[in-house]
Amino acid sequence: MKKIVKICLISILLIMLFGGLAGASYVTVSLAKYQTLPLDTESLTSPALNIEVFDTENRKMKEENQFNGDFCKLSSLPTYTKEAFLSIEDKDFYHHKGINKKRIIKAMLNNIKAGKLKEGASTISQQLIKNTHLSNEKTIERKLKEIALTKKLEKTFSKDEILESYLNIIFFGNNCYGIEEASTYYFGKDAKDLTLNESCTLAGLIKSPSKYSPILHYDNAIKRRNLVLNEMEKDGKISVDEKLQTQQQPITLNITQRQTNKLNTYSQASIDEASKILKLPAKQIAIGGYKIHTYYDEEKQTTLKNALTESKLEDADNAGIVIDNSTHGVLAYYGNSNFKLADIKRQPASCLKPLLVYGPALNENVISPATQILDEPLQIGNYNPTNVNKKFSGYMSVTDAVKNSVNIPAIKVLSYIGIDTGKQYAEKMNINFDTQDDSYALALGGMTYGVTLKDLATAYTTFANDGQFAESHFVQYITDKNNKLVYVHKPLSKTVFRQDSAYLMTNILQETAKTGTARKLSDITNTEIASKTGTVGKKNSSGNTDAYNISFTPEETIAVWFGNLSNQPCKIAGGNQPTSVVKNYIDSQSFAKTKFDMPSSVTEMKIDSLEKEENHRLVLASPYAPARYTETCLFSRFNAPSEVSSNFLEKPNIDAEAKVEQNQIVLSLNAQKHLTYQIYKDDIPYQKLENKQGAFSLRINFPENETTLKITASYLGDDNNNLQAEKTFSLHKPKTTPSQQKQKWYI
């Protein structure tokens, strides 16, 4: 047994040895091969580059795409600014030759201990190469190229030159490339004037500009800044007192918009998307000469931009997006803000209801548009929701609940299908939830982190596309500097809803545009339009923080947001400013397809409105039901009522009696309100009775000896057919018996 174990151990050691030798040989050969890779010195020193972006007609877009234009000399920066970056990113920068072997070994051990790739070991020199020469993919080949080029970099440039280039190229979020632009944007000052607090904030930001953004995640930014201060104190770059004093300070922003680098333009959104597609930073896209071809429609962009700009409020930002339902391409995008809005997630408010609640409930055959829901006070555990107006309206249809954005019915319907089911549907449309998003507040759009405007708009295209979802894109295709195609957008659709469910949801949202919260769209005549509004308010406040209108036509989906990222309430509401922008945009457009197609799986049925109003049930109307007591409703053929109402099962019956008293006919009639009675005397119309219910008596003069009295009862039934009953009475005066002559008495 011992011999076998010994043999196994020796075998394992030999395998490891040969594996190590093979790996070392591969690395050595690869490094030798990559020594021939050229070092692009222009990409390291050029302060400004441009990216060519083209519209859907292959015309170069007019929007400014120059970036990284402000160069900062290393010698102009405060010493603590340089030391902040060195302490957190590369402590041994001035001592290694581009590769920090000790750091690599330490990172490897920590990663093995953690069981995952927790730490990186790139030096500032390596980061500079990666950001100017290579993609972000994590492969051995890319790492070997990075090492080879880093060695060339260290031989070509001095340490100060490398650090200077690094600080002028590194990405700080919000489209800021280089420390000068970052300083100007975040703090409204030149980089040479940065304080220790501000320097450490920027140094901490570059590891993950989104996660450590002082705009989006202030607490994360504070923790990261304090870590930088700790590292500086450990390295002896600042005193303990300086560290403690600075850690007590807040991060005070002074956001400044840069005219040469607009954050919320279509071209910038396209560049950001291309960067994700190619896995390259924007500067490297420019260096590589890539050309970005988009779905941009100049006329639609101008219309959207003008509508948003004209409606801009002093205390609220806004943004809008237009998506082509068939190509899933973004036709227009624009925002008015000093903040980059494209990636910001906000609470979607009631706009989440069709995606999470009503659409799924229709697809699960739990409701139909006419289903009655009781709007009443509700408490679920400690959750005590209410409606916006603090009132309750009793029973209402699903359509009325959606179009008037009533909260209680939405929560009830979510309880019918279950929170998990609702989330599963929404997640199929790229609406993502946090683990804490597990309460019924979700029915009202109460999410931990929210959703971006683009993702919300894209989800709504599912209804316009017969229940099929596909991601929307700015980028149509990308070519390299030799005009070779390197990427083409190919929408991948997946089924979320059945056709009937998507159409019924669309039909409900059409009612919202006609008579609901989006009724400002009611006079649009150039296309059918479905719409949903949403408003995020604050308790005990007279204003709101977010307002939406998401609308779609058979051809396009348009989403508009107004809001305040500081969450200070302002005078906005979904049915006001956002809906006005949508109306201005739609009114200016012409559409080839103007009507939504009703699928064969949707059917019209007549229900008994008396049963709906009195018992809140949806049952089919009897063929003999009066038209006034029927209601035409849309149903899925998979969820249509089959029970026929017990009301009006027979043709109308006249319950009447007639008799003669002295010189009058007394007519007693047990009237029914839905019947119209016509009384004839000797075939001559005598009197018409309508809207009478219950016992009714009528006296008719009868001077003749005999007459014929006829009563007809009629009403409009199903399919407007006239149903009629008739009853006839032949009446005679009673014959008088001659009175006996009085006996004459003679005296």
pLDDT value at residue 117: 46
Q: Choose one of 423, 448, 473: the last residue of a domain.
A: 448
- The answer as to whether 171 is a domain residue is yes
| C-alpha closest to that of 406 among 459, 353, 369, 348 | 353
Q: Are residues 118 and 177 in the same domain?
A: yes
Mean pLDDT of 73-95: 93
Q: Are residues 5 and 86 in the same domain?
A: no
Element (H, E) at 223: helix 218-234
Q: Are residues 626 and 712 in the same domain?
A: no
Write out pLDDT tens, residues 520-546.
999 999 999 999 999 998 776 788 999
Q: Are residues 16 and 85 in the same domain?
A: no
pLDDT value at residue 642: 94
- The answer as to whether 88 is a domain residue is yes
- The answer as to whether 529 is a domain residue is no
Q: Are residues 620 and 698 in the same domain?
A: no
**Domains identified in the chain, total number:** 5
Write out pLDDT tens, residues 129-163.
887 777 666 667 767 778 888 888 888 889 999 99
Q: Is the pLDDT of residue 713 over 90?
A: no
Mean pLDDT of 346-371: 97
Q: Are residues 161 and 247 in the same domain?
A: yes
Helices 218-234 and 240-247: angle between axes, nearest 10 degrees: 180
Q: Are residues 7 and 135 in the same domain?
A: no
- The answer as to whether 104 is a domain residue is yes
**CATH code for position 692:** 2.60.40
Q: Is the pLDDT of residue 743 over 80?
A: no
pLDDT value at residue 104: 63
pLDDT value at residue 99: 83
Q: Which two tokens stand for residue 468?
A: 């099929």
pLDDT value at residue 467: 97
Q: Are residues 715 and 631 in the same domain?
A: no
pLDDT value at residue 270: 95
744 Cβ contact list (under 8 Å, min separation 6): none
Q: Choose one of 403, 433, 448: the last residue of a domain.
A: 448
Q: Are residues 371 and 415 in the same domain?
A: yes
Q: Which two tokens stand for residue 48?
A: 């400004």
N-terminal to C-terminal alpha carbon distance within the chain: 165
Length of the chain measured in residues: 747
Lowest mean pLDDT among 101-110, 205-214, 255-264, 654-663: 101-110
| Cα 743 from chain centroid (whole Å) | 107
Q: Which two tokens stand for residue 488?
A: 């083409």
Residue 26 vs residues 13, 29, 98, 137: alpha-carbon distances, Å: 20, 5, 21, 20
Q: Are residues 8 and 145 in the same domain?
A: no
618/643 Cα distance (integer angstroms): 9
The answer to whether 459 and 431 have CB atoms below 8 angstroms apart is yes
- The answer as to whether 523 is a domain residue is no
Q: Is the pLDDT of residue 243 over 90?
A: yes
119/96 Cα distance (integer angstroms): 19
200/226 Cα distance (integer angstroms): 8
472 Cβ contact list (under 8 Å, min separation 6): 323, 328, 329, 330, 454, 457, 458, 461
Number of H helices, E strands in the chain: 23, 24
The answer to whether 166 and 123 have CB atoms below 8 angstroms apart is no
Report CA Rg, the chain. Answer: 38
Element (H, E) at 398: helix 398-403
How many other CB atoms are there within 10 angstroms of residue 110's CB atom?
13
The answer to whether 423 and 437 have CB atoms below 8 angstroms apart is yes
Q: Are residues 123 and 28 in the same domain?
A: no
- The answer as to whether 312 is a domain residue is no
Lowest mean pLDDT among 193-207, 317-331, 623-637: 623-637
- b/e burial code for range 625-642 (CB count within 10 A of at least 16 → b): bbbebbbebbbbeebbbe
**CATH code for position 367:** 3.40.710.10
405/395 Cα distance (integer angstroms): 14
464/510 Cα distance (integer angstroms): 12
The one-letter amino acid code at 247 reads Q
Q: Is the pLDDT of residue 354 over 50?
A: yes
pLDDT value at residue 515: 97
Mean pLDDT of 465-471: 98
Write out pLDDT tens, residues 588-601.
999 999 999 999 99
∠ CA 533-315-515, nearest 5°, is 20
- The answer as to whether 441 is a domain residue is yes
537/276 Cα distance (integer angstroms): 34
The dihedral built from the CA positions of residue 615, 619, 622 and 625, taken in this order, carries a sign that is: positive
**CATH code for position 113:** 1.10.3810.10
Quickly state the pLDDT bin for 27 (edges 50, 70, 90): very low
3-state secondary structure of 184: helix
Mean pLDDT of 469-474: 98
473/285 Cα distance (integer angstroms): 18
- The answer as to whether 520 is a domain residue is no
Range of the domain at 411: 349-448
Q: Are residues 679 and 705 in the same domain?
A: yes
719 Cβ contact list (under 8 Å, min separation 6): none
Element (H, E) at 318: strand 317-324
Residue 621 vs residues 61, 369, 641, 719, 736: alpha-carbon distances, Å: 60, 17, 10, 11, 53
| Cα 29 from chain centroid (whole Å) | 51
Q: Which two tokens stand for residue 569?
A: 């309430």
Q: Choose one of 448, 481, 504: the last residue of a domain.
A: 448
Determine if the pTM surpasses 0.75.
yes
| C-alpha closest to that of 444 among 520, 352, 522 | 352
460/530 Cα distance (integer angstroms): 10
The dihedral built from the CA positions of residue 170, 174, 176 and 181, taken in this order, carries a sign that is: negative
Residue 233 vs residues 181, 242, 436: alpha-carbon distances, Å: 27, 8, 37
674/668 Cα distance (integer angstroms): 18
Mean pLDDT of 114-137: 70
How many other CB atoms are there within 10 angstroms of residue 342's CB atom?
20
